[in-house]
Structure 1
Amino acid sequence: MTTRSPAAILVIGSGLKLYREYIVRAVAERAREDGVRLVLINNLRPTWQQEYFDDITVTNVFDWPLLAATARELAGRYTFTGLMCWDEPLVMPAAELAAEFKVPGLSIPGVHGCRDKFSSRTRLTAAGLPQPGFALAADADEARRIAADLGYPVIVKPRALGASMGVSLAADERELEFAFRVAHEASLVGDEPYRGGALIEGFADGPEISIDGTVHKGEYEPMFVARKTTGQPPFFEEVGHVVDAADPLLRDAALLDVLVTAHQVLGIENGITHTEVRLTAKGPVIIEVNGRLGGDLIPLLGQVATGIEPGSALYDVATGQRPDVTHTRTRVAGIRFGYPEHDCIVHSVTVPQEAPGLVLASPMVEPETTLRLPPGGYIARHSFVICSADDPQACADRLAGAAALVEVDATPVEPPPPGTVLTMPAGLLDVDE
């Protein structure tokens, strides 16, 4: 008699404990309720992950053929009923494996639309959605010709990176030369097919927001909106986000129509997406659609503000179930990240244990960590504070008060020389030793 292999959900990359443990915890609870095993392929040896996963295999997840071979070996021991991935550098191979194992996923066209910014721009423009002018530049001379045609200012970015890495604004030809070099060099740490050159775009001016939403069998539904604060111009470092469960944008017909249409055009079938939008004078403009949960603890803000459990919603869409994303509370939650004023070596960080509305506060670096600001580095954060309140202004006041209580002992250092190879920030990778 043939024994059926146990049902399991495959997870590719756990992510950092600080950023993703609350997601993993919810997924593990759902899996145990259903009697399904949770199987992890991770880049480094497990520590905190052991509490949540039934089987953990350590391999180089950034070697895609090796990752695929490891997943296939596990598929010989388990019957996979779902596959999850929330690490930006891994969403492409994860979607390909979901298709191979015939479990719900973004779809191959969907993941290409999410990961490849040029493909996304091309397809959204062809569908008639408002988009800035754009073109790929292989070298600085081509970038100058494109920018002259588009008109300044322009945005210069790598074709396939996350967290605004290598993205900057160029107001004229002199700034363009610098911006192109920054984007080109940053691209060299990204997906191999998209390395080199840069994407040149017209600047869509207006406030920037992000929307985390679910997609079930091609049907898109928003969960929550985050209003973004950026800093360190001409770069776009994300220094904070605020989620308001009562945000009127959740009922904005024009925004919802753009979101639904964009997901249909890109061919996204099943998953959770994090869509970034500029609210321009001409209406909402999609900046990019990411095939994963939002970073920067935005899903946790959404959970605190709305009551939606993002890990549970992810479990549903990954296993072919329609998620319930009904709000069960109406609050405002925000996060503020602490950045140094200069490149530095951080000796110690102390965060508040108590403050009005404080939900969570944490250092983000170990002692003697070197933090580098753009363009020498990205996501140079030493700490964060999360606060909640009944309204946006009260939340902003509480965030400012809590952030003022953070104490940092650091020594300034010189920026790296131009041309230094960029090191991928730890916050984007599965590195949690």
Structure 2
Amino acid sequence: MNDSQSVLLVIGSGLKLYREYLVRSAAARAHAAGHRLVLINNLQPTWQHEYFDEITVVNVFDHDLLGRTARGIASRYTVVGILCWDEPLVMPAAELAAEFGVPGLSIPGVRGCRDKYSARTRLTAGGLLQPGFAMAADLSEARSAAERIGYPVVVKPRALGASMGVVLARDERELVEAFQVASDASLVGDEPFRGGAIVEEYAVGPEISIDSALHKGECLPMFIARKRTGSHPYFEETGHVVHAHDPLLKDRELLDTLAEAHRVLGIEDGITHAEVRLTERGPLIIEINGRVGGDLIPFLGMIATGIDPGEVMVDVALGQRPDTARLRAGVVGIRFGYPDHDCLVRAVHVPEDAPGLVTVSAMVAPGTTLRLPPGGYIARHSFVVCQADDVTTCEERLTTASAMIVVDADEIARKSPGSVLEMPTGLLDVDAS
């Protein structure tokens, strides 16, 4: 490990299955630059020992405790940068970056990322294309907002990720349930954003995501992912495909909109994951997240383009302009396996080989309960990642590999309306030893 007295501080490692590739690259980059890599984590480390020079375990969701722990580390080392890719922790990470005087997204920028209502308000005021929207504290306000905006509407929590609690309502009858689902889902999020829901115009068009690096306000797009969704009227993300030379990477209107949205929100240095609808009126920013993308999208991008997101994260955290030149020209996609109904999983069997298969994995252990919306979210039992030279072949390979997965599970009763939302399998920071 590294004996340097300068450190890059990482707030939360995330799951091995989803984030080890980032940690591996970030550790190599940090150590090559002569810095230690220090982790503050929520649970006892297992696989993390290989990459970090020092690990402290505290309840990172107690932000006061997290701050005191980080200051203790700063009293022993010189903190030269902060990394965080865990959605609930990006705000305290930004506050610590500001306190320590190191590059970061900026506190106003992260507020715009975490608070969807604030983002809508600021982007609208900034002149960017946005849907009609309103914050509703109760069903009565939601009804009034929907009547003013016009059906169909999307109802969503104010500050959750992964499309949790997001519901499409086509009329007043569907709005009643949609508001309840969104408001109930908000209760598992940060306390300031619990209760109520945002009601907004449904933007029609394909949805994409863009992972970008920000350096001193300059927006450098890295990966564009074409998104697949399912579980209507919910918006479960079932897969993504990244093309290294997606033509949208040369779409001036899209790139200018993306850059302007970051400027309006005050996002300066770091990594963001933007979700965009390609509407008839032009690109519409759905949201910008103050972290690298989930669902292994940066992993797909790395294989497709050769851009290493872990290295880029370290560079921007150190205040250096990253190299985002594409070194490859491939197409890589991921497809997630969902059950047809709420179930108790006995076993998941994945194929060892398939055309273009990059990696495949079960995502749950025997005995896991998977619940579909609205009783639960991200009820994934497996994923496959495949690559090809073109999008059509990549999609065909994903379909073939997905069909080879065998799930042994028992159907269980759906949760009754108003039941406590179960946190999604795979989202919690839990790793096997």
Q: TM bucket by the smaller chain?
A: over 0.9
| Corresponding position of 2:229 | 230
Pairwise CA distance, 1:431: 2.0
Pairwise CA distance, 1:429: 3.2
Q: Which amino acid aligns with 1:29?
A: A
| Corresponding position of 2:49 | 50
Please give the per-residue CA displacement for 1:254-309, whole angstroms capped at 9, x wherever unaligned.
10010000000000011110000000011100000000000000001001111100
| Higher alpha-carbon deviation: 394-403 or 66-75 | 66-75
Task: Map 1:259-408; keep pairs closer than 5 Å.
Answer: 259-408=258-407
Checking the alignment, whether the CA contact within 8 Å between 2:379 and 2:425 is kept in structure 1 is no
Q: Which amino acid aligns with 1:113?
A: G
Pairwise CA distance, 1:73: 1.1
C-alpha distance in structure 2 between counterparts of 1:79 and 1:150, whole Å: 51
SS at match of 1:386: strand
C-alpha distance in structure 2 between counterparts of 1:428 and 1:405, whole Å: 25
Checking the alignment, whether the CA contact within 8 Å between 1:87 and 1:428 is kept in structure 2 is no
Checking the alignment, whether the CA contact within 8 Å between 2:331 and 2:389 is kept in structure 1 is yes
Checking the alignment, whether the CA contact within 8 Å between 1:276 and 1:287 is kept in structure 2 is yes
Pairwise CA distance, 1:45: 0.1
C-alpha distance in structure 2 between counterparts of 1:353 and 1:270, whole Å: 41
Structure 1 unaligned runs (5+)?
Answer: none
Structure 2 unaligned runs (5+)?
Answer: none
| Corresponding position of 2:143 | 144
C-alpha distance in structure 2 between counterparts of 1:57 and 1:425, whole Å: 26
| Corresponding position of 2:190 | 191
Q: Which amino acid aligns with 1:147?
A: A
C-alpha distance in structure 1 between counterparts of 2:424 and 2:91, whole Å: 19
| Corresponding position of 2:112 | 113
Q: Which amino acid aligns with 1:325?
A: T
Checking the alignment, whether the CA contact within 8 Å between 1:206 and 1:281 is kept in structure 2 is yes
Checking the alignment, whether the CA contact within 8 Å between 1:43 and 1:431 is kept in structure 2 is no
Please give the per-residue CA displacement for 1:295-338, whole angstroms capped at 9, x wherever unaligned.
00000100111110010011100111100000000000000000
| Corresponding position of 1:37 | 36
C-alpha distance in structure 2 between counterparts of 1:251 and 1:71, whole Å: 41
SS at match of 2:307: coil
Task: Count residues in correspondence.
Answer: 430
SS at match of 1:414: coil
Please give the per-residue CA displacement for 1:91-112, whole angstroms capped at 9, x wherever unaligned.
1111111111111111000000
Pairwise CA distance, 1:34: 1.6
C-alpha distance in structure 1 between counterparts of 2:223 and 2:32, whole Å: 26
Checking the alignment, whether the CA contact within 8 Å between 2:113 and 2:287 is kept in structure 1 is yes
Identity of aligned residues (%): 69
Checking the alignment, whether the CA contact within 8 Å between 2:370 and 2:425 is kept in structure 1 is no
Checking the alignment, whether the CA contact within 8 Å between 1:42 and 1:430 is kept in structure 2 is no
| Corresponding position of 2:210 | 211
| Corresponding position of 2:430 | 431
Q: Which amino acid aligns with 2:156?
A: K
Checking the alignment, whether the CA contact within 8 Å between 2:4 and 2:36 is kept in structure 1 is no
| Corresponding position of 2:80 | 81
Checking the alignment, whether the CA contact within 8 Å between 1:123 and 1:265 is kept in structure 2 is yes
Checking the alignment, whether the CA contact within 8 Å between 2:364 and 2:425 is kept in structure 1 is no
| Corresponding position of 1:179 | 178
C-alpha distance in structure 2 between counterparts of 1:426 and 1:103, whole Å: 34
| Higher alpha-carbon deviation: 260-269 or 69-78 | 69-78
SS at match of 2:76: coil
Checking the alignment, whether the CA contact within 8 Å between 1:87 and 1:430 is kept in structure 2 is no
C-alpha distance in structure 1 between counterparts of 2:4 and 2:29, whole Å: 20
Pairwise CA distance, 1:426: 4.2
TM-score for both structures, normalised by structure 1: 0.98
| Higher alpha-carbon deviation: 10-19 or 411-420 | 411-420
C-alpha distance in structure 1 between counterparts of 2:62 and 2:187, whole Å: 16
Pairwise CA distance, 1:77: 1.1
Pairwise CA distance, 1:191: 1.0
Q: Which amino acid aligns with 2:139?
A: A
Q: Which amino acid aligns with 1:317?
A: V
Pairwise CA distance, 1:66: 1.0
Does 2:421 match 1:422? yes
SS at match of 2:239: strand
Checking the alignment, whether the CA contact within 8 Å between 2:9 and 2:38 is kept in structure 1 is yes
| Corresponding position of 1:132 | 131
C-alpha distance in structure 2 between counterparts of 1:422 and 1:95, whole Å: 29
Checking the alignment, whether the CA contact within 8 Å between 1:42 and 1:61 is kept in structure 2 is yes
Pairwise CA distance, 1:423: 2.8
